[in-house]
Structure 1
Amino acid sequence: GVQGGHFAVHTFLTGVKAQEARGLPDGGISLDQRAAEHVGSQTRFPVLNVGSPDGLHGGCQISWTRTGTRVPPIPGPRELYRALFIEDDAEARRQAMERLRLRASILDAVRDESRALQRRLSQADSKKLDEYFDAIRDVETQLSLSRKWQNVPKPKPPFPEPQNQGLAKDLPMMYDLIALALQTDSTRVATLEVGGSFVARDIGIQQGYHNLSHHGHLPEKIKLLVQIERYQVEQFSRFLDKLKSLEDPRGGTLLEHTMVLFGSGMGNGNSHRNDNLPIVLAGGGFRHGEHRAYPSDPHHKVPLCKLYVSMLRQFGIDTDRFGPVTGTLPNWEVTG
Structure 2
Amino acid sequence: MFKGVGVWAIWTQFFPPSGSAIFTEKTTPSQAGKVFIVTGGSSGIGFELSKILYGAGAKVYILTRTKFNAEEAIKSIQESFKDMDRAGLGTLEFIHMDLEDLASVQSAAKEFASKESRLDVLFNNAGVASMRGKTKQGLEYHYGINSVGHFLLEKLLKPILASTAKSAPPSSVRVVWPASILVEMLAPNGGVPVDTLDTPSDDINENYSASKAGNWFVASEFSKRSGKQTGVVSIAGNPGSYLSNVWRSTPWYLYYPYIPLLRKPIYGAYTYLWMGLSEDITLDDAIAGRYATCDGRWHPGQRKDLLLALKGKGEGGTGQAAAYFDWCESKIALFSEP
Between structures 1 and 2, the one with greater strand share: 2
Q: Same fold (TM over 0.5)?
A: no
Q: TM-score, normalised by structure 1?
A: 0.37
TM-score by length of 2: 0.37
